[in-house]
Amino acid sequence: MGAQIKGPGLFLAQFAGDEAPFNSLGGIAEWAAGLGYKGVQIPTFDGRLFDLARAADSQDYCDEVKGICAEAGVEITELSTHLQGQLVAVNPAYDAAFDAFAPAEVHGNPKARQAWAVDQMMKAAIASKRLGLSHTVSFSGALAWPYLYPWPQRPPGLIEEAFAELARRWTPIFDHYAEHGQDIGFELHPGEDLHDGATWEMFLDGVKEHTAARINYDPSHFLLQQMDYLAFIDLYHDRISTFHVKDAEFNPDGRQGVYSGYQAWANRAGRFRSLGDGQVDFSAIFSKLTQYGYDSWAVLEWECCIKSAEQGAAEGAPFIAAHLIEVPKRAFDDFAGAERDEAQIKGMLGL
């Protein structure tokens, strides 16, 4: 009767490493399949797993990548451009920190770094198409984030100009993605200008509701902001193209709250947790996404300051599998139904 969520999927970024099996796509895909994952989300910024420039240029290479994954027993869910998307828009306050995401030849040169990031985004659209995919995941970057809390008060027009500029930078990228049958699901995330529903709406207005502008739904970031992450689905389900299954907990006390007092992750009131260890109501989320016809992947993004990555990955696949909903092939009350009878209908209504 309806669409069904696919999974379990695994975002590989947090698991890639310099030792086998985590230092090659074949090795890490086989490892993921062995844990029960059916799909892998590939970070395009990790050369150990994927060569983005080559993928944008060569169908043979993309066929090879698909073959490696298929041989391991997994599909490719999406390509991730989180780090490159971050560099499409960077406030100068973060120049030094975010240079680490870009090649050395553009360090200290924000315009060159931005141009490199845009080129990377364009390549990812072509690579995604060559792989037979239609969705990607990314970050929006941020120009206004340092001015999040209005003290000192923000000068009039600051936020409006920041979002207008963000729209100017992303619109040509969206046009390119649409031309190639692709879209970009932004992970709405503190640190990005797009971090909640209000900022999403401002951005969507700026890009004139572009069809390629989508949402990567990740409830962990909404729980840490104390948002209603279920109502978010009601509001924006038509724009949700991808889904990161990530848990979190928020335990405020007399010392700290949402801002968590600059503490290390283990000591914060708000912490990311392995699946099942936090407070996110995933049963309700999977039900609501299924209700609205979401039929793409449920992908684990693992981040936890308490549990090891290996244990988190091993527990994540069965957790997601247990939450997948098999949609009904007929209505539950069909047994009590009958053929339409016009005379009966009119009689029951006194017509």
HEC assignment per residue over 157-181: CHHHHHHHHHHHHHHHHHHHHHHCC
Residue 53 CB coordination number (10 Å): 14
pLDDT tens for each residue of 91-113: 999 999 999 999 999 999 999 99
- Give me the chain's average pLDDT, please: 96
Q: Is the pLDDT of residue 324 over 90?
A: yes
Q: What are the φ/ψ torsions at residue 17 (nearest 5 degrees)? A: -155, -175
- Domain containing residue 205: CATH number: 3.20.20.150
Classify residue 1: in a domain, yes or no. no
If you average pLDDT over residues 123-135, what whole number do you get? 98
Instruction: Report the distance separating Cα 217 and Cα 186, nearest Å.
Output: 8
% of residues, the chain, pLDDT over 70? 97
- Reported confidence tier of residue 333, pLDDT bands at 50, 70, 90: low
Classify residue 40: in a domain, yes or no. yes
If you average pLDDT over residues 194-203, what whole number do you get? 98
Classify residue 319: in a domain, yes or no. yes
> What pLDDT is stored for residue 329 in this prediction?
76
Q: Is the pLDDT of residue 8 over 50?
A: yes
Classify residue 267: in a domain, yes or no. yes
- Indicate the number of domains in the chain: 1
pLDDT tens for each residue of 145-160: 999 999 999 999 999 9
- Reported confidence tier of residue 334, pLDDT bands at 50, 70, 90: low
Question: 């260890």: which residue's tokens?
Answer: 277
Judge contact between 182 and 135, C-beta under 8 A.
yes
Q: Is the pLDDT of residue 58 over 80?
A: yes
Q: Domain containing 334: what range? A: 6-349
Residues 44, 48, 53, 54, CA torsion sign: negative
